């Protein structure tokens, strides 16, 4: 919460994910380095939506490998 500096309630977090189209389905979270993805995983857990999977290597790892696909389009 921007005013209190505390996490939003589980209901508020669930509403945010719901509006983004994230329901109780399998989710893998990643980001540029793994830090923001951890916050997303925590939010999914708090909301009770599912058991998120964290790709902690995130883009830093994926983008540095020549054997993995990258879509530039």
Out of 10, 27, 31, 40, which one is annotated catalytic? 31
Kindly report the pTM of this predicted structure. 0.73
Q: Give the span between the Cα atoms of 59 and 15, in whole angstroms.
A: 27
The answer to whether the beta carbons of residues 55 and 48 sit under 8 Å apart is no
The answer to whether the beta carbons of residues 31 and 37 sit under 8 Å apart is yes
pLDDT at 26: 86
Could you give the domains of the chain? Answer: 10-62 (3.40.250.10)
Give the mean pLDDT of the chain. Answer: 88
Q: Is 38 a catalytic residue?
A: no
pLDDT at 50: 78
pLDDT by residue (tens digit) across 44-55?
Answer: 988 888 788 999
């Amino acid at each position: 919460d921007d005013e209190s500096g505390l996490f939003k309630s589980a209901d508020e977090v669930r509403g945010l994910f719901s509006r983004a189209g994230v329901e109780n389905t399998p989710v893998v979270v990643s980001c540029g380095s793994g830090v923001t993805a951890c916050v997303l995983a925590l939010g999914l857990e708090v909301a009770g939506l599912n058991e998120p999977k964290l790709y902690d290597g995130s883009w830093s790892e994926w983008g540095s490998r020549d054997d993995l696909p990258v879509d530039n389009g």
